[in-house]
Chains A and B, each alone.
Chain A
Amino acid sequence: QVQLQESGPGLVKPSETLSLTCTVSGTSISNYYWSWIRQPAGKGLEWIGRIYTSGSTNYNPSLKSRVTMSVDTSKNQFSLKLNSVTAADTAVYYCAREMVRGVTTTYFDNWGQGTLVTVSS
């Protein structure tokens, strides 16, 4: 059974860097795409970006200038850094595994429980 668990500070000060790690268990992190998705309170889901275990990344164009993702295959973990945060970055952050089936089909089949990150001084 694949499980994902987010970890990191629940409170970040404005202008600082949000850092989260997702630990994967039940499967090797290798040869999959891994994504970060966030959800402000009472609002919808927003895709932040994804990383392949080779290190190749795709980021949401609206966040690209502030986002960095990395992967550590030895620890079966991947990470998110979002810099220059503001109150608008306050949200529940989810990590998820993305499955890709050919050109037409992608989906997130396993999700972490989510972690609330609040941006406040």
Chain B
Amino acid sequence: SSELTQDPAVSVALGQTVRITCQGDSLRSYHASWYQQKPGQAPVLVIYGKNDRPSGIPDRFSGSSSGNTASLTITGAQAEDEADYYCNSRDSSGNHRVFGGGTKLTVL
């Protein structure tokens, strides 16, 4: 079982705002990173650290954290944002990495 918990599926209307969450005790101590994965493709990093975006990632993607929950927010979701999203962080020991189970985002 994963030490990071995500909702299996979330939907959002085109142009609206959606928050995808990731819960785990290790998130009280470590930042989460977030990955977007489209069918048949490798995951792509979209958010890391406190709220950093790699070059080329639109600024509608943002990250935040509170207590044991990290969140990925997409402000003004686009059709191309429909994908699976995974969070990742250290586990409770700090020595290993763990992924959340993933959230399938549907843009309506």
Q: Does B35 contact A (CB under 8 A)?
A: yes
Interface residues of B in 34-78 (CB under 8 A from A): 35, 37, 42-45, 48-50, 54
Contact B45 A109 (CB under 8 A): yes
Nearest Cβ distance between residue A80 and chain B, in whole angstroms?
15
Q: Which chain A residue shows the least CB distance to B2?
A: A44
Interface size for chain B: under 10, 10 to 19, 20 to 34, or 35 or more residues?
20 to 34
Contact A114 B42 (CB under 8 A): yes
Cβ contact of A101, chosen from B44, B49, B100, cutoff 8 A: B49
Main secondary structure of the interface of A (DSSP, over half): strand
The interface bits of chain B over 8-39 (1 if a CB of A lies within 8 angstroms of the residue's CB, else 0) are: 00000000000000000000011101010100
Q: Does B83 contact A (CB under 8 A)?
A: no
Q: Could you pull out 16 A-B pairs where Cβ atoms are within 8 angstroms? A: A44-B100, A45-B37, A45-B102, A46-B99, A47-B97, A47-B98, A58-B96, A98-B97, A104-B29, A104-B30, A105-B30, A105-B31, A105-B48, A106-B97, A108-B33, A113-B42
Binding site for A on B (CB under 8 A): 2, 29-31, 33, 35, 37, 42-45, 48-50, 54, 86, 88-90, 95-102
Binding site for B on A (CB under 8 A): 35, 37, 44-47, 50, 58-61, 94, 98-99, 101, 103-109, 111-114
